[in-house]
Amino acid sequence: MRIVPAVDIRGGLCVNLVQGDYCQETVFSEDPVEQARAWWDALGQCLSSEEYQDAVIHIVDLDGAKTGVCCVLPQLIALAHHGICFELGGGLRSLDTLEAVFKAGASRAILGTAAYRDPELLREACRRWPGRIVAGIDARGGCVSLNGWLENTGEEAVDFARTVEKAGAARIIYTDILSDGMLNGPNYDTTADVARNVSIPVTISGGVSSLDDIRNSRALAPLGVDEIIIGRALYVGHFTVSQAVAALKEGS
């Protein structure tokens, strides 16, 4: 299992939202690129060279998620310039945008709203960029939410997970909205349900608050959960990147 630090960008700033609420925003850095570099360097100091090759920073374009237009291409180009491997989600709703994001240096692109609204786009994207398209499933109460978590669909996340796997998605990032930014621990049960119903890897996201949360996440590894995204807990200093990595490796 890998630690994946998150950098959420809104209005050119590195921020964090509570339960996806744009009115509950905390600004943690005025320079998202420098923040990503800090997390990337921290990973480099505590991972083996082999582990570092698989490392990634999770970038979210919050403005893009809300408007449907990618707003962070300059930051992506800067990240690639600094040698940072990253994935991007938010506002990726056309093949042209995906092309631009990959040209800017993204290792993986996350389709959320577009994956739900436009299944043909998802299938074609998976065909053009095999192994690089991730389905982002953001759920409230176990049901898929869209458009920056502003719209609830009523479709069960598990059912949608099966759909995106059939379309060719290489990975699923499952985010529990009610846990996100709350520092009350992830939703292990629903993440496990999603992982049990697909054969592709799953990333757990939302609510990590302590090293115990990270240790508990290791129990999901046999189900195919191999990454854990961490945001607010790192920013507020509950633990460091190196401590998070060490917690994952305990007993291994």
Q: Is the pTM of this model over 0.85?
A: yes
- Within a 10 A sphere around the Cβ of 49, how many other Cβ atoms? 7
The single residue listed with the structure tokens 């970038």 is 59
Write the pLDDT tens digit of every residue in 187-240: 899 999 999 999 999 999 988 999 999 999 999 999 999 999 999 999 999 999
User: Helical H runs in the chain?
Assistant: 32-46, 49-53, 62-67, 73-81, 95-103, 113-117, 119-128, 157-167, 188-196, 211-217, 232-235, 241-249
- Within a 10 A sphere around the Cβ of 29, how many other Cβ atoms? 16
- Mean pLDDT (whole number) for 151-177: 92
User: Helical H runs in 145-237?
Assistant: 157-167, 188-196, 211-217, 232-235
Q: The domain that contains 163 carries what CATH number? A: 3.20.20.70
Q: What average pLDDT does the structure give for the chain?
A: 92
Q: Which of 61, 63, 138, 176 is catalytic?
A: 138
Which pLDDT belongs to residue 185? 78
- Kindly tell me if the per-residue pLDDT of 182 is higher than 60: no
Write the pLDDT tens digit of every residue in 29-56: 999 999 999 999 999 999 999 999 999 9
**Type of residue numbered 168:** G
Residue 221 DSSP code: G
Annotation marks residue 138 as catalytic: yes
Residue 205 domain boundaries: 2-249
Name the domain count of the chain.
Answer: 1
